[in-house]
Amino acid sequence: RDAQRLAESMTMKWATLEQPKGGGKAVLALPAPLDAEARNGLLRRYGAIVESLRGTFGTGEDLGTTPEDMALLASVTRYVHGVEGSRVTDPGPFTARGVLRGIEAAVRAVLDRDDLRGLAVLVQGVGDVGYPLAAELAELGARLLVSDVDAGRIARAVDTLGATVVPTDEAWDAECDVFAPCAIGGVLSAATIPRLKCRIVAGSANAQLETAEDERRLQERGIVYVPDYVVNSGGAYAFALHGRGEHDHETLLAQMDHVGDIVAAVLAEATAEGRSPLEAAARRAQRTLASGSGTAS
């Protein structure tokens, strides 16, 4: 179920970016934790499957994997995003910058604010994407709240960013302006939405809504949901640019402004047409898919 949801989300992500690519996702379902040798063996077998598809599917770093894993996969298959020789590009910082730009666009549209200074942002999950996002939020003067099941990650956010810790089981109840889910998916549900105390949801986690009805639940509470496949598209966009020969880190980061522009356009279309942001984003994606080109307006 997770793989199917993520594959659909990836299709919509590429289409929202107006890129001429299809979408797919791989999930390796483990019955139990693996030791290093077994884990590497599993990745090699997965790499062989990717190679057998001869370029119709490319894989990349995501939840549960690392740049080192991508280097290992690249020793088995040619079709790994972000690997150039011995150099492995981590998509995390680019996804984080795109989420930041998306949050800024949502704050302008919903709160009529041109900056984040003093606004409370709760980052749920301060890992490969959540931590660089939190760092940029803190630098821009946001009041930073963090929640994570990993004590080491929490300690890093507190020590280096001065973040305020919210226990994981209380994240839904924390008063904030923006809730940014940056860990697992399915966190917005009939059980959690009534507890939220925010105006905006915008984060990097994939498939954040547990069911299709959950966006309606958010709307009924006056909470604006920025569709995950829109706001978290920075890593994918960076890899698209990477594939066209752009490897400079700062140049790629600057290109993530495009994600903010898309979020702004989706929210504006939703307001103008009386639709939800998810409906507006889906219409944008469907225009691209219908064109078959990636050049839809």
**Residues tagged active-site:** 25
Beta-bridge partner residues of 52:
none
Torsion region of 287: left, alpha or beta (phi above 0 gives left; psi -120 to 50 gives alpha): alpha
Query: What is the greatest pairwise CA distance in the chain?
Result: 55
Residues 130 and 148 sit within 8 Å (Cβ to Cβ): yes
Which tokens in the block code for residue 42? 């599993």
Helices assigned H by DSSP within 17-175: 36-52, 67-74, 92-106, 130-139, 151-161
The strand pair at 164-165 and 178-181 is best described as: unpaired
Residue 277 has φ and ψ, to the nearest 5°, of: -60, -35
**Residue for token digits 């752009």?**
246
165: helix, coil or strand?
strand
Residue type, 78: R
- Residue in this structure with the two tokens 């884990």, named with its chain if needed: 39
Q: How far apart are CA 170 and CA 195, in angstroms?
A: 9
Cβ-in-10-Å burial (0-12, 13-18, 19+) of 163 comes to buried
